[in-house]
Amino acid sequence: MSRIRVIYKSCGLLVALLCIVLSASAAKKPEMTRIYMFGFAASFVDSVAYQTDIQQIDSAWLEPAHKFLVDRSLYSLQLQYYLESEEGRKNTICTVFFDKNPRKLLKRWSKVQRRYEKADGLKLMPLPAERFKFRAEEWKEITIQETPATNDAAPAKATKEKEKEKKKGKEKS
């Protein structure tokens, strides 16, 4: 029996230690760095897909722990808004690919291009930087401060009590 307790305590300590390490790594602020990026857009209802040129973004924010692009969805939204407003393409699904190393990204760009050029019934349209250019997204740290809760429940409770008293008064008469 004591052996099981030791195992449970050990597992509990390991879980607590893991939580502390993960929270410490998650607390690090993103770092601004230069990345290279390209976008791809396709639609399930259209036979045209778009691929942008590889572009340099000088002030992109990466999470230090995982080297993940902060607010990456905003970059794909830039491409989606462009396609809707300038090209008249609705319902496109947009994604972005990025890397700090331009050679690695060029390999990925070529792989995506080859895959969709071979696809039957799909036309891959290049989207040069002269027509569409990604803009760096601004990162701001947001801190949330808790304020003392106001007692909004008291007036509601008093109103409910008054309603109960009225009902009791009507029942008696």
pLDDT single digits (tens) 10-37: 555 555 555 565 555 555 788 888 999 9
Q: What pLDDT does 136 receive? A: 86
Q: What is the pLDDT of residue 21?
A: 54
Query: Considering the domain boundaries, does residue 90 fall inside one?
Result: yes
Residue 82 belongs to domain spanning: 37-127
The answer, as to whether pTM is greater than 0.75, is: no
**pLDDT of 47 above 80:** yes
* Euclidean distance between CA atoms 131 and 125, whole angstroms: 12
Segment 70-78 shows an average pLDDT of: 91
What is the residue-averaged pLDDT of the chain? 80
**50 in a structural domain:** yes
112 found inside a domain:
yes
Residue-wise pLDDT tens digits, 124-151: 999 999 999 999 888 777 677 777 765 5
Residue 10 falls inside a structural domain: no
In a domain, residue 94? The reply is yes
How many structural domains does the chain have? 1
Query: Would 116 be classed as within a structural domain?
Result: yes
Mean pLDDT across 101-117: 94
Res. 119 pLDDT band, cuts 50 70 90: confident
pLDDT interval class at 50 (50, 70, 90): very high
Phi, psi of 69 (to 5 degrees): -70, 120
Question: What pLDDT, on the 0 to 100 scale, is given for residue 74?
Answer: 92
145 to each of 141, 142, 148, 149, how far by Cα in Å?
A: 13, 10, 10, 12
Q: Considering the domain boundaries, does residue 168 fall inside one? A: no
Mean pLDDT of 80-109: 94
Residue 98 maps to a domain: yes
